[in-house]
Chains A and B, each alone.
Chain A
Amino acid sequence: ETGVTQSPTHLIKTRGQQVTLRCSSQSGHNTVSWYQQALGQGPQFIFQYYREEENGRGNFPPRFSGLQFPNYSSELNVNALELDDSALYLCASSGRDVGSPLHFGNGTRLTVT
């Protein structure tokens, strides 16, 4: 069974730039979620995708957007990067049902300078 994989591992960007993070879901999982984890904090829900559509969103501005592909892999795009976007970005996959355990990847550490 292949777990959740994320790329890249680390990334350094300049304020105002755009970034794309990628995620491959665990086999058998059709739902992908993205979380932002600031240093010393718990992860915060950004959004969730099911059948290539966003079906839940946290308190994040529209410059955070995503995609899900037919193979259930996903991308997180962030435009107009701000210093406060520096964080660990975690992707998780799960089954469709509410309460299904989420399985996380190792994350992408984004630093905005």
Chain B
Amino acid sequence: AQKVTQAQTEISVVEKEDVTLDCVYETRDTTYYLFWYKQPPSGELVFLIRRNSFDEQNEISGRYSWNFQKSTSSFNFTITASQVVDSAVYFCALIPFSKGATNKLIFGTGTLLAVQP
């Protein structure tokens, strides 16, 4: 099965708290790509990061960091010192790569993050 699970439906934090959004994926392919997208109330999906299955290095970009662990099939996203502008729905997504594959994103159900002032 090709699947992405985001078990946290909603998270509420107070500004300046750190928050981690969980993502667990399933795929039978050895090559795949993982993504995180942010969807603010305006509706547009904003691309945040892409990782390929051969690169397990963690990545940090400002207040954002990502922890990719193939052993647990997880690709978690941490926001440090959260801000009200971080309030949005966050989606984890997967593109499996096999012969004949298309560039099709398989999304999780999303996590609604509410950052209170």
Contacts and interface: CB of A to CB of B under 8 A. Distances in A.
Interface of A: 31, 33, 35, 40-45, 48, 55-56, 58, 88, 90, 92, 94, 96-107, 109
Contacts of A102: 47, 103, 105
Nearest to B104: A45
B60 to A, nearest CB: 19
Interface string B36-61: 01000011111100101000000000
A64 to B, nearest CB: 15
A31 B105 CA distance: 13
Contact of B44 (A31, A48, A107): A107
A35 to B, nearest CB: 8
A58 B104 contact: yes
Contacts of A109: 43
Contacts of A44: 107
A98 B97 contact: yes
Interface in B69-112: 91, 93, 95, 97, 101-110
Contacts of A96: 103
Contact of A45 (B45, B105, B108): B105
- Find the residue from A41, A92, A98 having the highest chain B CB count within 10 A: A98
B33 interface: yes
B35 interface: yes
A48 B43 contact: no
Contacts of A35: 105
B102 A103 contact: no
A40 B46 CA distance: 17
